[in-house]
Structure 1
Amino acid sequence: MWFLKTQEEVLKELDANPLTGLTSEEAKTRLNQYGENKLKSKPKKTLILQFFAQLKDMLVYVLLGAAVITLFIGEYVDAIIIMLVVVLNAIIGVVQEYKAEKAIEALQQMTTPKSLVRRDGEVKEINSEEIVPGDIIILDAGRFVPADLRLIESANLQIEESSLTGESVPSDKNAKDIYENPKTPIGDKSNMAFMSTLTTYGRGEGVVVATAMDTEIGKIAEILDEDNNEMTPLQRRLAELGKTLGFIAIGICTLIFIIALLQKRDLFEMFLTAISLAVAAIPEGLAAIVAIVLALGVAKMSKINAIVKKLPAVETLGSVNIICSDKTGTLTQNKMTVVKYYTFNKLTEVPEVGVNLKASDNEKELIKSFVLCSDATYENDQGTGDPTEIALLILGNKYNLSQISLSANYKRISEKPFDSDRKLMSTLNEEGTGYRVHTKGAIDNLMSISNSVLIDGKTVPLTEDIKANYLKVTEEMSDDALRVLGVAFKDTRSLIEPEDMEKDLTIIGLVGMIDPPRSEVKNSIKEAKMAGITPVMITGDHKNTAVAIAKELGIADSIEQSLTGAEIDQLSEKDFANRINDYRVFARVSPEHKVKIVKAYKSQGNIVSMTGDGVNDAPALKYADIGVAMGITGTDVSKGASDMILTDDNFTTIVHAIEEGRNIYNNIRKSVIFLLSCNLGEVITILASILFFWPVPLLPTQILWINLITDTLPAIALGIDPGDKDVMRKKPRDPKESFFADGVGLRAIFGGALIGILTLAAFNFGLREYGYSLGSRNIPEDVTTYARTMAFVVLAGSQLFYSLAMRNSSKSIFQIGICSNMYLIGAIIIGFILQLGVISIPFLANAFKVHNLSLVDWSLVVFMAIIPLIVNEITKLFIENRS
């Protein structure tokens, strides 16, 4: 309750000296006592825990069971290979989690602000994490408040507290205020400054009363710090797929033993066959491949300024059909810019960029007065202070009237600070042998204290007609959503008191300024609309300003498509939800309204992306399907509650991320369908051999090799397939849509069956070379080895070639370009080289129970392997001609 106490009481209780601050030794002691001044993150899992977490999967359980059985029956090589697969998958998962954590840590480190603190009698700049209770903090315009402070000194101090209160208008601060009501709202505590708020005007000093989790922002962070273990549709589908495949493998193994008993087969041989089938039914590389594809996609997205915190969130991006975006900084440049200025009967457009621009004498006087009547600074493209004043300084630079040169020639003597009641600010500067008052503010307020106007370098009386002229121009600028400021002056031969400054002034003119839209956003909004995505603007700004920007960007067509926070409050939850699709702009809203907006859109079946930067935005970010936090202006709490962080705070990045998310999902789908098709071929091969009492064409180690190497490499290459150029011309994917929609499941079954049949055909061909057939008994081991080698190579080769057909379900490989994915071409070549190595290198050939093939045999297996690709491409042509 520091706001209830006097400055002296607070300083005494904290044992702090405002003149010298803490000593370095005392600061170090308090740092050990209170800890670093940063919000706590959840405890990290150890690498061991992360490793074992990767093993909690039905597919892994089946593989571990197979490994135990093979170890028990003495097939040590098979057991080792199976265990290597399990361990490799787990290691890949751990590596991806570690990389994601490091990316977030790097971002947090990047956004750690510096603070001015008085220690050992000197003002020093230190990392805000090193601040402790009792430190004396110096605040000036442009600095973030690093901890909760009880102000001990303030001069025209204003602090923007929207990150904490949701109120976009800066709060006036007064160190001398004392409150009696313990329940005083945070926004009314004018003698306090809070962590993560921004100083926008004036200066002040305060003593730190709370750090880290003890601050107001820390308390909110603690409330929000809850695990959200809800799985995305992709995660659910893969988990269900894993369980299904696991149960299928167990069921098939049971079936095999029943068949073996009926056929009176050797039970030991059936053990090996059961393991073969279990291995064939499970795509061992599936979990690793999905993790790799997501991780590569996330790495690619980080290069376009979108850091994805949770890998599966990438998939949700592909389904987004509503983007709720902040206006300031996301749709706009977050930089007030003067776009027009007006002197009597002359309106001038200001170029967006330019130096040494030409201006008339009247216009130069206007710009000069605006620059001199400012407390902001702007050097080397960096400004501090009020954004409005920075915009005026930039205007001066364009016309070669820089603040540095003007301040040197026209030294400031006195000032009358801005006051929210007067809506004016005045300065007194040296001018020749006398002095000049420069006053800026609301034009109607200026005219009430002026009696003349500057026209063509001459001072003439301010008539009602001239007033009407200025008010008309002001209204026109306001209708264009411009913020209008007027400026006036008064010459005096002697020094005057501040209270006498704002009398009998001469009006020079006015300027119109706006936070302009980002140049690239308009095209991004057009692209989003074409992709079936509805952009929605949410802002704390005024309705007219918001609608004007929205119309310029193509978000809204009329003011009827806008709604204010007050109007939202007048609607029932049901009425608001029913009418939500009629609106494109929500103005003057609080963070609480954001939650209502998200709920309303979601109730209509939409998948919603929501942007935010404040602490109070966190609930809306968590409730949205994709919460997007601002990397530059966002608070730690909003970043913690989000799924994605924009390092450039740019709307265009959201659209690019959605495009990337769609392509990543499509690529994962290609990889999964490819793996399932390949594994189906293996299952058909093994199961058919058992049902028809044929010799088993493949051994467990051979299937594992194919699943881990010759399947995995093409699957990863499919996962990083170049993006579909038409992906943003299609509507967002329905999150309930099956993985096997649009006939993909049937094509997978057809392809898998064809691969299985050809593998059996190759095995039969190998037997017939030595006078045996599938129905023969007592086949010599060397003949079986030869036939298995043929089947082994055809199975691997057909899957490698088949991967080319999986790139697009409707376009042929010639339409999309055979070499447009060189990673896939490389994977196929490497796959064949590895396959050649396995059957030709003696120790590998012995381990996998295969041997080398002749050139004629190789020609035959390559011909058979390419058949599934050819058949699939012909099918595409047939489908295309029919459509």
Structure 2
Amino acid sequence: MFFNKTIEQVLEEFGSNPITGLSQNQSEVKREKFGLNQLTTKKPKTLIAMFFAQLNDILIYILIAAAVISALLGETSDAIIIAIVIIINATVGIIQESKAEKALDALKKLSTPKAIVKRDGQLNEIPSEEVVPGDIIIIDAGRYVPCDLRLIEAANLKIEESTLTGESVPVDKDASLVLPGEDIPLGDQKNMLFMSTLATYGRGVGIAVSTGMDTQIGKIAKMLDEKVDDETPLQKKLAQLGKYLGIGALFICALMFIVGVLQKRDLFEMLLVSISLAVAAIPEGLPAIVTIVLAMGVQKMIKENAIVRKLPAVETLGSVNIICSDKTGTLTQNKMTVTKFYADGKLGAIDSLNINHTEHKLLLENLILCNDATYSENSKTGDPTEIALLQAGVDYSIFKDDLEKTHKRIDEIPFDSDRKLMTTVNKYDNDYYVMTKGAIDNLLNLCTKAYIKGNIIEITPNIKKDILAASNNMSDNALRVLGAAYKILPSSHVEIDSLERDLILIGLVGMIDPPRLEVKDSISLCMKSGIKTVMITGDHQNTAFAIAKDLNITNDSSEVISGTELDKMSDVELNNRIESIRVFARVSPEHKVKIVRALKSKGNIVSMTGDGVNDAPSLKMADIGVAMGITGTDVAKGAADMILIDDNFSTIVAAIKEGRNIFTNIKKTIIFLLSCNIGEIIALFLAILLGWATPLRPIHILWVNLITDTLPALALGVDPGDPDVMKYKPRNPKDSLFKGESLNLLLNGLLIGILTLAAFVIGAKYYSGDTNLFPLFPGNLSEDALKHAQTMAFVVLSVSQLVHSLNMRNEKKSIFQIGLFSNKYLIGAIVFGILLQDFIITVPFLANVFSVHSLSLMDWSFVTILSLMPLLLNEIVKIFKRSSSII
């Protein structure tokens, strides 16, 4: 900390001379000690490391074991298909992970290419990487700050720090300040300059106190480099599901092995059965399908003006219950705007100003002429406050260029941070108008008269009281207040020191970085949807509260807290109070991370929006980080999960709606796949338990899981969304994926399994010539009869699952109510799946690979009836569900 030390103390600490700077030898020694002035990044993962990381999953281990056993037993086709599944899943994972984190690279690019330093008494322009602590750095307008500096000189110096602190307007700097204490927010350290901020006005000289990773930007880089738990709720649930399925598969295999030993079956046959059960227990296509559904969701998001950088973010959006939003540029327009004025003794909105009133017109002319900014349709340059004043004139068709041609500037007194005033002298016909603007406290002391209702009158105590009341009213609403005054001179030849004396007050204007017009409605919709909006900003507390109040984030000032108060709170204290705080003001990057961590500790799913460098660590820490696409820095975009193309807060709400629908569709997909796999397990388990032949071969199950299941699962992933989805509260991320679906899952799995066994038994009896009812399954089947029976079971398993996908579209509504063809992709998937199944059993080569037999017309009749049963029975159940909900 150097903001609380005098210039002499800092110079002495670094052994530097403000006149000569460091010597070349000193700079080399310091470079050896402190290193280059650049940010470091961690070593990226190799492709091989990423590949093996993708294999670190219990489901993959089981599949690898199944592939090895299949290969050893000569079941080459099974082993190849399993290997393809593993490679596809690993490849998809690598593609996602290889979209490497670019935040630190973007931070490195923020460093300026050149810096002006004093070395051996000479001014030298050197690469910024060569700057060392103790260097004397020269800063002028338009130059980026190369490292963290303690100012030793400053002349009207203003620094744009919004990307680091969130401050809306450039900050006036003062080298002479020595700030007491240790808890001074970055935005209030007015004797310090920080790496990668921009000088917009004036000049300064500073001593380098921190370089590279020791700068404030470096601290952000370190936070970005920290590993955070970035698994989404769905990823965690799928990982947990994988463990359960893996344990279940091993348990079933062991149980079947015991059953086989007791039944004195062949050991080789039992190994094949075990492989079949392991394969049946695991929906091999599930990870790839979820990834693909999320990827398709990403394409939908782009249409909503949101670019998703990380696929799981699509799903996470659906469970977000807190949006932490940066104020500047996110909730507000990041553009200072005049909103109120005071003239003629009245306070009003700027759009009620009457240009036909002399006082009103003179007020605007004063603010436009006494102004160094430029304004055109394509370019706006200068201080944001002055640009806002020019914009106010443009709104009334008063343009600076035209006005200056008519009223040429003759003389001026530039703005000074001590006076907080600026004055120009402009020619009005034969007279010369002195135009002065600035802070109302300073300006009012220079005014002896006021221009009220066409009359110039002496400022009485009552008039002064009214003026200050209007100023305080605007300040209480977090407006930045500027006063305008003038006087008329018969000649321009006057002493410059006498220009700012005996002025006539025209009026005041109040300005603020206003809220985005559409944000208020979006926040209201969030509130109705059970989503809380929290504002986190680097701006002052009263400004933050005024914006929050205007947007209906909070009306209670006790729900606003400053960064200084935050520093005094322990993590436990913050965790206990975090739910009642709606606005955090004057915060640092470390504070933002602390806030997000506290919110997450309460089980919240947190979204953080922002655009500046200061937002990057919290964007990464949040469950989903959302960066602004237009005003956002590369650092923020690199750290975020999602980028808003239009910088519109309302786009977040649209994205959340899409995210909720996508999660619902993913849930449909998972329930569908698991119910199908349960059907496969039941068919195999019951057959072995009853001492029957194996109804399905491992390759049959792999085919169904990879192809027949996958097509409708993908189609369910793009099912049309629920238009009322934003009327519901966010789902609890702790809720089971199967909440409300467990019974449906088990019953449909049981139904598919029994139907598959029924087909197997019918096929076996029909082709063995057994006409007896008992035993259910005939003994001593010929190889051809067994192949026929397995083929019928294979087709029923496949087609019944295809038909079952129609049931998954809605829990209560009939498929005919929601429209049989309202999801054309699903109908297409069902038809295509049936054609593929027919293709396999009719093409000789494929039939030989899959060990299946062509079916007769009679066989297809049995198969069709059995396959339609899931749809028929579910439609009957839905009738009762609908009637019970009405009652």
- Tell whether the structures are fold-level matches, with TM greater than 0.5: yes
Q: Please state how far the C-alpha of 1:758 moved relative to its aligned partner.
A: 0.9
Aligned residue for 1:485?
482
Per mean C-alpha deviation after superposition, the further-off stretch among 501-510 and 377-386 is 377-386
CA distance in 2: counterparts of 1:600 and 1:810, whole angstroms: 40
Q: Please state how far the C-alpha of 1:280 moved relative to its aligned partner.
A: 1.0
CA distance in 1: counterparts of 2:779 and 2:307, whole angstroms: 61
Q: Please state how far the C-alpha of 1:752 moved relative to its aligned partner.
A: 0.8
Aligned residue for 2:61?
61
Aligned residue for 2:826?
824
Aligned residue for 2:812?
810
Q: Which of 695, 700, 703 is matched with 1:702 structurally? A: 700
Q: Please state how far the C-alpha of 1:681 moved relative to its aligned partner.
A: 0.6
Q: Please state how far the C-alpha of 1:699 moved relative to its aligned partner.
A: 1.2
Aligned residue for 1:845?
847
How is 1:448-847 mapped onto 2 (pairs within 5 angstroms)?
448-455=445-452, 459-492=456-489, 493-559=491-557, 561-565=559-563, 578=576, 580-590=578-588, 594=592, 597-598=595-596, 601-602=599-600, 604-612=602-610, 621=619, 624-630=622-628, 643-646=641-644, 648-742=646-740, 744-772=741-769, 775-847=777-849
CA distance in 2: counterparts of 1:816 and 1:5, whole angstroms: 78
1:385 aligns with 2:382: yes
Aligned residue for 2:270?
270
Q: Please state how far the C-alpha of 1:393 moved relative to its aligned partner.
A: 1.0
Q: Please state how far the C-alpha of 1:680 moved relative to its aligned partner.
A: 0.6
Q: Please state how far the C-alpha of 1:740 moved relative to its aligned partner.
A: 1.4
CA RMSD of aligned residues (A): 4.1
- Secondary structure of 1:554's counterpart equals coil
Q: Please state how far the C-alpha of 1:882 moved relative to its aligned partner.
A: 1.1
Count of residue correspondences: 851
How is 1:200-279 mapped onto 2 (pairs within 5 angstroms)?
200-202=200-202, 213=213, 215-222=215-222, 224-229=224-229, 231-279=231-279
Q: Please state how far the C-alpha of 1:487 moved relative to its aligned partner.
A: 0.7
Structure 1 residues without counterparts, runs of 5 or longer? 17-29, 120-127
Q: Is the 8 A contact 1:156 1:417 kept in 2?
A: no
- Secondary structure of 2:330's counterpart equals coil
CA distance in 1: counterparts of 2:141 and 2:672, whole angstroms: 58
Q: Which amino acid aligns with 2:509?
A: V
CA distance in 2: counterparts of 1:183 and 1:337, whole angstroms: 32
Q: Please state how far the C-alpha of 1:84 moved relative to its aligned partner.
A: 1.5
CA distance in 2: counterparts of 1:152 and 1:582, whole angstroms: 43
Q: Please state how far the C-alpha of 1:152 moved relative to its aligned partner.
A: 10
Q: Is the 8 A contact 1:794 1:864 kept in 2?
A: yes
- Secondary structure of 1:9's counterpart equals coil
Aligned residue for 1:872?
874
Q: Please state how far the C-alpha of 1:91 moved relative to its aligned partner.
A: 1.8
- Secondary structure of 2:767's counterpart equals coil
Q: Is the 8 A contact 1:435 1:491 kept in 2?
A: yes
Q: Please state how far the C-alpha of 1:626 moved relative to its aligned partner.
A: 4.1
Per mean C-alpha deviation after superposition, the further-off stretch among 525-534 and 449-458 is 449-458
* Counterparts in 2 of 1:112 and 1:780: CA distance versus 1, 3 Å: same
- Once the two structures are superposed, residues 555-579 of structure 1 have per-residue CA deviations (whole angstroms, 9 ceiling, x without a partner) of 2244454445566677777666555
How is 1:77-96 mapped onto 2 (pairs within 5 angstroms)?
77-96=77-96
Q: Is the 8 A contact 1:161 1:170 kept in 2?
A: yes
CA distance in 2: counterparts of 1:116 and 1:397, whole angstroms: 38
- Secondary structure of 1:733's counterpart equals coil
CA distance in 1: counterparts of 2:229 and 2:598, whole angstroms: 23
Q: Is the 8 A contact 1:378 1:384 kept in 2?
A: yes
Per mean C-alpha deviation after superposition, the further-off stretch among 577-586 and 447-456 is 577-586
Aligned residue for 2:329?
329
CA distance in 2: counterparts of 1:178 and 1:511, whole angstroms: 32
Q: Is the 8 A contact 2:157 2:202 kept in 1?
A: yes
How is 1:272-311 mapped onto 2 (pairs within 5 angstroms)?
272-311=272-311
Q: Which amino acid aligns with 2:841?
A: I
Per mean C-alpha deviation after superposition, the further-off stretch among 682-691 and 48-57 is 48-57
- Secondary structure of 2:607's counterpart equals strand
1:862 aligns with 2:844: no
Q: Is the 8 A contact 1:663 1:727 kept in 2?
A: yes
* Counterparts in 2 of 1:565 and 1:64: CA distance versus 1, 3 Å: closer
CA distance in 2: counterparts of 1:364 and 1:142, whole angstroms: 34
Per mean C-alpha deviation after superposition, the further-off stretch among 574-583 and 653-662 is 574-583
Q: Is the 8 A contact 1:167 1:590 kept in 2?
A: no
CA distance in 2: counterparts of 1:642 and 1:129, whole angstroms: 33
Per mean C-alpha deviation after superposition, the further-off stretch among 49-58 and 622-631 is 622-631
* Counterparts in 2 of 1:392 and 1:514: CA distance versus 1, 3 Å: same
CA distance in 1: counterparts of 2:465 and 2:345, whole angstroms: 12
Q: Please state how far the C-alpha of 1:708 moved relative to its aligned partner.
A: 0.5
Q: Please state how far the C-alpha of 1:599 moved relative to its aligned partner.
A: 5.6
Structure 2 residues without counterparts, runs of 5 or longer? 1-9, 117-124, 771-775
Q: Which amino acid aligns with 1:268?
A: F
* Counterparts in 2 of 1:142 and 1:316: CA distance versus 1, 3 Å: farther
CA distance in 2: counterparts of 1:216 and 1:605, whole angstroms: 30
Per mean C-alpha deviation after superposition, the further-off stretch among 768-777 and 439-448 is 768-777
Per mean C-alpha deviation after superposition, the further-off stretch among 308-317 and 234-243 is 308-317
Q: Please state how far the C-alpha of 1:394 moved relative to its aligned partner.
A: 0.8
- Once the two structures are superposed, residues 251-273 of structure 1 have per-residue CA deviations (whole angstroms, 9 ceiling, x without a partner) of 32233232222222233222222
Q: Which amino acid aligns with 2:678?
A: L
Q: Please state how far the C-alpha of 1:750 moved relative to its aligned partner.
A: 0.6
1:343 aligns with 2:373: no
Q: Is the 8 A contact 1:340 1:347 kept in 2?
A: yes
Q: Please state how far the C-alpha of 1:595 moved relative to its aligned partner.
A: 5.4
Per mean C-alpha deviation after superposition, the further-off stretch among 869-878 and 386-395 is 869-878
Aligned residue for 2:16?
5
CA distance in 1: counterparts of 2:873 and 2:334, whole angstroms: 56
CA distance in 1: counterparts of 2:495 and 2:626, whole angstroms: 51
Q: Is the 8 A contact 1:158 1:202 kept in 2?
A: yes
CA distance in 2: counterparts of 1:15 and 1:294, whole angstroms: 56
Q: Which amino acid aligns with 2:680?
A: E
Per mean C-alpha deviation after superposition, the further-off stretch among 358-367 and 240-249 is 358-367
CA distance in 1: counterparts of 2:724 and 2:604, whole angstroms: 22
Q: Which amino acid aligns with 1:322?
A: I
Q: Which amino acid aligns with 1:552?
A: D
- Secondary structure of 1:737's counterpart equals coil
CA distance in 1: counterparts of 2:145 and 2:110, whole angstroms: 9
Q: Please state how far the C-alpha of 1:114 moved relative to its aligned partner.
A: 10
* Counterparts in 2 of 1:751 and 1:297: CA distance versus 1, 3 Å: same
What percent of counterpart residues are identical?
Answer: 58
Q: Which of 436, 439, 455 is matched with 2:436 structurally? A: 439
Q: Which amino acid aligns with 1:758?
A: L
CA distance in 1: counterparts of 2:25 and 2:380, whole angstroms: 35
TM-score w.r.t. the length of structure 2 is: 0.85
- Secondary structure of 1:438's counterpart equals strand
Q: Is the 8 A contact 1:686 1:697 kept in 2?
A: yes
Q: Please state how far the C-alpha of 1:308 moved relative to its aligned partner.
A: 4.6
- Secondary structure of 1:330's counterpart equals helix
Q: Which amino acid aligns with 1:397?
A: V
Q: Is the 8 A contact 2:156 2:417 kept in 1?
A: no
Q: Is the 8 A contact 1:96 1:292 kept in 2?
A: no
Q: Which amino acid aligns with 1:807?
A: R
Aligned residue for 1:370?
367
Q: Is the 8 A contact 1:147 1:210 kept in 2?
A: yes
CA distance in 1: counterparts of 2:702 and 2:855, whole angstroms: 21
